[in-house]
Chain A
Amino acid sequence: MGRKLLLDKIHIPGIQSYEVYRQNGGYTAVEKALKNYSPDQIVEEVKKSGLRGRGGAGFPTGMKWSFLAKPPGVPRYLLCNADESEPGTFKDRYLMEHIPHLLIEGMIISSYALGANTSYIYIRGEYFYVSRILEKAIAEAYQHGWLGKNILGTDYSLDLYVQVGAGAYICGEETALIESLEGKRGNPRIKPPFPAVAGLWGCPTVVNNVETISAVVPIINIGGEEYAKIGIGKSTGTKLISASGHINKPGVYEIELGLPVEEFIYSDEYCGGIRNGKKLKAVVAGGSSVPILPAELILKTAKGEPRLMSYESLADGGFQTGTMLGSGGFIVMDEDTSVVENLYTFTRFYHHESCGQCSPCREGTGWMEKILKKFIDGTATMSDVDLLWDIQSKIDGRTICPLGDAASWPVASAIRHFRHEFEEAVRNKGIKKVNYYNKRWGLVEV
């Protein structure tokens, strides 16, 4: 059994409520932080822990915090990114719904470390009911003196609010999130200036993912050094993985970074193997944006070493033979799956979610969606494969925000590893129809 730091208490009945959370050691990290540490010491502790951003990019959190500009007399803001819209990712929802006080505790400590006196949790609009759960937990925290003026009798004060979005993946991008919180369209900003210098209302701002902020709680509880002992190399600590697709046990799992991918997919503690006794075909390991890998490359690196669930091991081989840990959205496909049709759902998604500011992204994602539809309808030609490749290569790296890259990588990797499937779709004039509903519920001999 791997060590659990975020989900260790999730199965305690009533842990959603303040009383039960508190009885089980909740808010001790806030006490410790506000009484024993200066804000800078907390930043140091987080640096020591080696914690890396859990929102997708994996940037070291302590370092990010130390970049925050601190001009005198200007407010600073901490924004929690609860937009969670990367297809395949549902861990933040799980945390916020089942143990909301963990995030609130993390927000208090992190806001204190950054010197923020007002903080916001920006949550995707579709999670409206989760925002209600958070609001209730925040009200409880105010009631018990963990939020508001002079917390624990110190001179530190904090107000915490939940802000709901209204359906836009792009608002997960940190500058789009800030625009949205300012009451505007979610158009990402051109950087620099970075939010650390000019973010919300032009003030220095840090944006962190729900899981990142939650992880600050165990870091303070056990100490940064102890946290850094968990995991492997520069992938320290634990990570929540959202597992979905054709597996026996989909769900959210907390793993120690460094767990072998093979164990994650096949052991009963985690995914429990492929559904219906089928063979593994491919995995998208870190949310829709990361390169898809065929079975042989997700289980072992090109060098033949076992692939591990860590930032470094998943990226081993670069984009030629590797992928990324990303947000930890782990989508598993069995042998009957059409990689081309799966890609179509991703590309349609990116086209739908492009904010439209950059022509390569706005137009390119639409072209790619149309061409992929031709493969499904059976009207594609062999030259369409090269055309797809060409379009994606002209989006990658040529846009304001990384959504453009995120739209091109799945296309590039699908062609790189599964070119034969595109060609088959051309030759067979379409893609073999599979009834995924019947497969899901085991209704027919599959």
Chain B
Amino acid sequence: MSAQIHGVLPFDKEKRKQIKFSDDALQTIENIKKRYPEGKQKSALIPVLHIAQAENDGWLSPEVMDYVAELLNISPIEVFEVASFYTMFNLKPVGKCVLEVCRTSSCWLNGANEIVAYIEKKLGIKEGETTPDGMFTLKTVECLGSCGTAPMMQCGASYHENLTFEKIDAIIEKYRKENKRRNYTDLDWENTK
């Protein structure tokens, strides 16, 4: 089973055996499966991968994808096909807080490049990299539907809009202090307008 995804990252049978989602997550997954007609449970894949990513330190390991395949009774390659298509799924480990700065037109017109450069300097990393302490990953992304409040970035479920360097300082300081992982699925989003 799952030979197809072994080639991407080393597949660890021991790790696979240890994977178990929280009861809360498993219950949510069962509820999601009920949204579709009998036999169409594959439709749950994307919502379930979001939960899986949150349960697995922010990324989808081959072992987790294999586990998801079993939960939905589909083949591992079907999971990998989808996980590798969508940009919100990380196939490699990421920091606890992934700062995703939009740099498309309206954000670029309002200083996205300068924002990226500021964060790079502040955190001492380049776009795509993670700080050595595993706290922050910096990513650039395409339009997030916040063009009227540009420049902006997303972190987990939260939208940070009308960004200034001072705002970034405050956000980074707060995140550092709280030292917790931020997921898209979090219920405690705190947008800064």
Contacts and interface: CB of A to CB of B under 8 A. Distances in A.
B46 A166 contact: yes
A245 B87 contact: no
B143 A88 contact: yes
B146 A90 contact: yes
B87 A129 contact: no
Contact of B46 (A161, A180, A243, A244): A180
Interface string A60-103: 00000000000000010000000011111110110000000000
Contacts of A185: 81-82, 85
B142 A87 contact: yes
Given A87-B143, A185-B81, A168 B108 contact: no
Interface in B89-121: 89, 103-106, 108-115
B184 interface: yes
Interface residues of B, number: 54
A371 to B, nearest CB: 18
Contact of B105 (A92, A118, A169, A331): A331
Given A129-B157, A167-B86, A436-B114, A349 B104 contact: yes
A21 interface: no
A250 interface: yes
Size class of the contact patch on chain A: 35 or more
A250 B148 contact: yes
Contacts of B135: none
A436 B163 CA distance: 13
A199 to B, nearest CB: 13
Contacts of A244: 106, 109, 147-148, 150
B116 to A, nearest CB: 10
A201 B43 CA distance: 10
Contact of B115 (A127, A165, A337, A437): A437
A352 B103 CA distance: 13
Given A88-B106, A128-B184, A128-B185, 5 more contacts: A132-B189, A165-B86, A183-B45, A437-B113, A441-B111
Interface of A: 75, 84-90, 92-93, 118, 120, 124-129, 132, 161, 163-169, 180-186, 201, 242-246, 250-252, 284, 288, 329, 331, 333, 337, 341-342, 345-346, 348-349, 352-353, 355, 435-441
Closest 9 CB pairs of A and B: A437-B111, A437-B114, A166-B86, A167-B87, A183-B45, A167-B88, A183-B42, A244-B147, A250-B148
